[in-house]
């Protein structure tokens, strides 16, 4: 077995089970390792720390999967990890065959670099690590066997593929190919999901529980759903929540087309869709004197790197201030951030600042994260990325 020897004093995070070994922590490599190979991680004193998979092309040189020296990373290991992750989704009750769920959430499920989403009887698989990409034939065959999926689609994230030196292409992988969007049920609502062309793997499954809880605050309200994508929150507000009317805004015409189709699927007739840039739209709504009883803010990731956090917090601050400007006194603000680098505490203080600057009393009613099929791993807090605060602004 090839051995990766850590620099002195660099072993602590890995004893604490953080799964990413950066090139900067590595002293030397004993033996030969090709990309995707199994390697052992040893302390500078030569003691076994963990076992993982190697990638010379990534800043994450080794991804760790087991801390048990007696456990080989062989086919039955991967099969076992997948089976455990799937069993937990069944336990959660996320096994409605018409529904959708994240079956595998990377580090959260001890499978760093692998994401698997189930949409009805199709799977969307994202390999965000080269070691997972080279194991796709095994992983997909286990998944098909365990789920009975009719077809599997591969999706990639461009930035990540580059960082990992991946050469995967988006498209059908095996089974029956899809000839268009498919339909899923979430919280009793029908959503059409485009696995081939949609954002992420087609739908933002992480907000499932937040959509349902949010709906409970919106009865008879006039709601603004900013960054609506395919209408996730808008439909929950209109149909589940009994909102009076919803204005749904997104800058992507493609997303809005999906959202309009989804509104029709659910016979929701009180949602109006508008194509526009988020900040500009809020500014012009405020200038036009438009007011809402509730505003939902679910913007795209503002901070892609640690260095971008300061600017991102400024952008969140400004966005939330603009939202407060169109929010009636006593109105509900549902504000989210999916930037992993922006901590929960940072986000809270951003909100404190927005309250101070606008002289509004903001009550926090519920602080939420991603749905439980996106488990947050304590030893890898990078897996805690989604913040969703439900607030009231007096």
Alpha carbon 268 to its chain centroid, in Å, reads 27
Q: Which of 277, 349, 352, 378 binds ligand SAH (CB under 6 A)?
A: 277
The interaxial angle of helices 309-325 and 344-358, nearest 10 deg, is: 40
Only one of the segments 50-58, 87-95, 130-138, 245-253 lies at the binding site for ligand SAH (rule: CB under 6 A); that segment is 245-253
Neighbours of 258 (CB within 10 A): 25
Question: Rounded to whole angstroms, what are the CA distances from 352 to 313, 317, 320, 358?
Answer: 12, 9, 11, 10
Catalytic, out of 228, 338, 380, 388 = 338
CB of 285 closer than 8 Å to CB of 324: no
As measured in angstroms, the least distance from the Cβ of 116 to ligand SAH is 19
Q: Among residues 52, 108, 181, 232, which is the contact residue for ligand SAH, using CB under 6 A?
A: 232
3-state secondary structure of 370: coil
Does residue 215 touch ligand SAH according to CB under 6 A?
no
Largest CA distance in the chain: 69
227 binds ligand SAH (CB under 6 A): yes
Helix (H, G, I), strand (E, B) or coil at 379: coil
* Nearer of residues 125 and 237 to ligand SAH, judged by Cβ: 237
Structure tokens at 222: 């006039």
2 contributes a contact to ligand SAH by CB under 6 A:
no
CB of 377 to ligand SAH, least distance (A): 23
Whether residue 278 contacts residue 298, with contact meaning beta carbons closer than 8 Å, is answered with no
Closer to ligand SAH by Cβ: residue 174 or 185: 185
Active site residue 174: no
- Beta-carbon count within 10 A of 197 CB: 12
Task: Give the CA dihedral 207, 209, 210, 215, nearest 10 degrees.
Answer: 120
CB closer to ligand SAH out of 58 and 207:
207
Q: Is 233 in the site for ligand SAH (CB under 6 A)?
A: yes
Under the criterion CB under 6 A, does residue 278 sit at the interface with ligand SAH? yes
Binding mask 246-275 for ligand SAH (x = CB under 6 A): ----xxx--x--------------------
Range 287-326, binding ligand SAH (CB under 6 A):
298-300
- Residue number, 54 or 233, with CB nearest to ligand SAH: 233
Contact 67/17 with Cβ under 8 angstroms?
A: yes
Structure-token pair, residue 313? 């917090």
Chain Cα centroid distance, residue 131: 21
Residue 197 in the binding site for ligand SAH (CB under 6 A): no
- Check binding of 184 to ligand SAH (CB under 6 A): no
Q: Does 238 help bind ligand SAH (rule: CB under 6 A)?
A: no
Residue 69's Cα: distance from chain center in Å? 32
Candidates 35-43, 130-138, 142-150, 228-236 — which segment interacts with ligand SAH by CB under 6 A? 228-236
Residue span binding ligand SAH (CB under 6 A) among the ranges 75-83, 222-230, 310-318, 325-333: 222-230
Of the ranges 87-95, 123-131, 173-181, 224-232, which one interacts with ligand SAH (CB under 6 A)? Answer: 224-232
β-pair partners for 223: 246, 294
Minimum distance between the CB of residue 277 and ligand SAH, rounded to whole angstroms?
4
Q: CA 126, 174, 112: angle at the middle one, nearest 5?
A: 25
3-class secondary-structure state, position 286: helix
204 lines the binding site for ligand SAH (CB under 6 A): yes
Among 186, 181, 179, 191, residue whose Cα is nearest residue 265: 191
For residue 113, state whether it binds ligand SAH (rule: CB under 6 A): no
Q: Which residues bind ligand SAH (CB under 6 A)?
A: 199, 204, 207, 227-230, 232-233, 250-252, 255, 277-278, 298-300
Active site members: 338
């Amino acid at each position: 077995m090839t051995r990766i020897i850590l620099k002195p004093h660099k072993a602590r995070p890995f004893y604490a089970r953080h799964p990413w070994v950066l090139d900067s922590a590595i002293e030397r490599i004993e033996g030969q390792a090709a990309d995707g190979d199994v390697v052992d991680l040893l302390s500078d004193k030569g003691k076994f720390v963990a076992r993982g998979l190697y990638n010379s092309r990534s800043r994450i040189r080794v991804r760790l999967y087991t801390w048990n020296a007696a456990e080989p990373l062989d086919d039955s290991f991967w099969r076992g990890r997948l089976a455990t992750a799937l069993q937990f989704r069944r336990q959660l009750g996320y096994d409605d065959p018409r529904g959708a769920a994240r079956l595998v959430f990377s580090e959260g499920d001890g499978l760093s670099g692998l994401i698997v989403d189930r949409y009805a009887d199709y799977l969307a698989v994202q390999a965000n690590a080269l070691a997972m990409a080279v194991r796709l034939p095994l992983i997909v065959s286990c998944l098909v066997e365990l789920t009975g999926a009719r077809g599997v689609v591969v999706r990639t994230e461009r930035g990540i593929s580059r960082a990992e030196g991946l050469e995967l292409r988006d498209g059908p992988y095996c089974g029956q190919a899809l000839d268009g969007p498919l339909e899923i049920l979430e919280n009793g609502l029908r959503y059409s999901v485009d696995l081939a062309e949609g954002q992420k793997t087609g739908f933002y499954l992480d907000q499932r529980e937040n959509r349902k809880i949010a709906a409970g605050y919106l009865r008879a309200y006039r709601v603004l759903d900013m960054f609506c994508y395919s209408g996730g929150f808008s439909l929950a507000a209109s149909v589940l929540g009994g909102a009076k009317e919803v204005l749904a805004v997104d800058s992507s015409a493609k997303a809005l087309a999906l959202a309009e189709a989804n509104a029709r699927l659910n016979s929701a007739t009180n949602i109006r869709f508008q194509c526009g840039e988020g900040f500009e739209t809020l500014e012009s709504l405020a200038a036009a004197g438009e007011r809402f009883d509730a505003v939902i803010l679910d913007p795209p990731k503002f901070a892609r790197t640690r260095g971008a956090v300061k600017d991102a917090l400024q952008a969140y601050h400004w966005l939330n201030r603009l939202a407060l400007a169109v929010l009636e006194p006593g109105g509900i603000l549902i504000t989210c951030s999916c930037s992993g680098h922006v901590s929960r505490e940072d986000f809270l203080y951003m909100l404190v600042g927005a309250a101070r600057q606008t002289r509004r009393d903001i009550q926090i009613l519920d602080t939420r994260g991603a749905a439980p099929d996106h488990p947050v791993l304590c030893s890898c807090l990078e897996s805690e990325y989604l913040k969703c605060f439900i607030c009231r602004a007096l």
